[in-house]
């Protein structure tokens, strides 16, 4: 019997059409997964002083509409939030992506719109994929206060590092999940040994990671029921779906 595989972290948008990703998913025997807009369609990541514009607001609307149109039984879409702090409408999205690196423009968390956004996401119960600097990560996790699941991509590789987050006690919180995209096998094994496998999600971070290789990496670590959970079942449980 074939194992269901779902990629919990893949980028797709108008500049990165689904057809390209779908071909690679087929090569890796991956049935679907989570779609997240490319950063470049949300804000100018190469300008640390970037000021939001009508052009980017329209770009976000277009890419979100595109991702929403792709949703199906095994394809999910995350809402990529930026400094207008617009909330995802109703039940039209399956999660939220929060993303920035240290050399990129910052989220304006002092705005009242930020608080309203956070409360709306928590009320909807949507999981939040969180990628930001170390202290910003801890601050946002504390503000959410375990009200919704939080996914740390790459085992924290771009949130300050796995070991640094572990020393801070982040992974002891039951609402903290991790995805395997571009993470080292050592980190994956270490997390599984200390915290179990129920909060580990398979992900590729396409186009930065190759879906077939990232699946192979996971399958070299886990077997049996653990493999089935990491490759798909943990994601389905997180999103409130049942395995067919």
Domain ranges of the chain: 6-238
Backbone angles phi, psi at 132, to 5 degrees: -160, 180
Contact 82, 106 (CB under 8 A): no
Please report the pLDDT score of residue 90 as a whole number.
75
Contact 205, 153 (CB under 8 A): yes
Please report the pLDDT score of residue 86 as a whole number.
93
Please report the pLDDT score of residue 89 as a whole number.
87
Contact 138, 106 (CB under 8 A): no
Sheet holding 176-179, edge to edge: 6-11, 32-36, 75-80, 95-99, 128-131, 150-152, 176-179, 200-201
Backbone angles phi, psi at 47, to 5 degrees: -120, 100
Assign 210 to helix, strand or coil.
coil
CA angle, 158 then 160 then 166, to 5° = 115
Assign 176 to helix, strand or coil.
strand
Torsion of CA 177, 137, 180, 23, to 10 degrees: 110
Looking at domain 6-238, its CATH superfamily turns out to be Metal-dependent hydrolases (3.20.20.140)
Please report the pLDDT score of residue 241 as a whole number.
81
Please list the rounded mean pLDDT of every run of 10 residues in the chain (244 residues): 92 97 97 97 92 94 98 97 90 95 90 94 96 96 96 97 98 98 98 98 98 97 97 97 62
- Phi-psi label, residue 194: left if phi above 0, alpha if psi -120 to 50, beta otherwise: alpha
């Amino acid at each position: 019997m074939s194992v269901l595989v779902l990629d919990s972290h893949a980028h797709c948008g108008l500049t990165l059409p689904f057809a390209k990703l779908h071909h690679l998913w087929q090569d890796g025997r991956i049935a679907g997964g989570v779609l997240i807009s490319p950063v470049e369609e949300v804000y100018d990541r190469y300008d640390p002083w970037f000021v939001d514009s009508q052009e980017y607001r329209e770009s976000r609307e277009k890419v979100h509409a595109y991702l929403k149109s792709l949703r199906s039984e095994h394809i999910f879409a995350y809402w990529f939030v930026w400094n207008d702090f617009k909330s995802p409408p109703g039940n039209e999205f399956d999660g939220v992506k929060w993303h920035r690196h240290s050399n990129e423009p910052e989220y304006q968390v002092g705005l009242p719109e930020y608080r309203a956004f956070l409360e709306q996401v928590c009320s909807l119960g949507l999981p939040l994929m969180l990628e930001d600097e170390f202290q910003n990560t801890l601050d946002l996790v504390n503000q959410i206060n375990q009200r919704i699941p939080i996914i740390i991509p790459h085992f924290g590789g771009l949130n300050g590092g796995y070991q640094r987050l572990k020393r801070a006690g982040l992974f002891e919180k039951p609402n903290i999940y991790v995805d395997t995209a571009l993470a080292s096998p050592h980190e994956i094994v270490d997390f599984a040994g200390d915290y179990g496998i129920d909060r580990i999600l398979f992900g590729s971070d396409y186009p930065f990671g190759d879906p077939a290789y990232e699946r192979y990496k996971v399958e070299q670590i886990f077997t049996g029921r653990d493999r089935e959970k990491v490759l798909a079942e943990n994601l389905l449980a997180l999103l409130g779906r049942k395995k067919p």
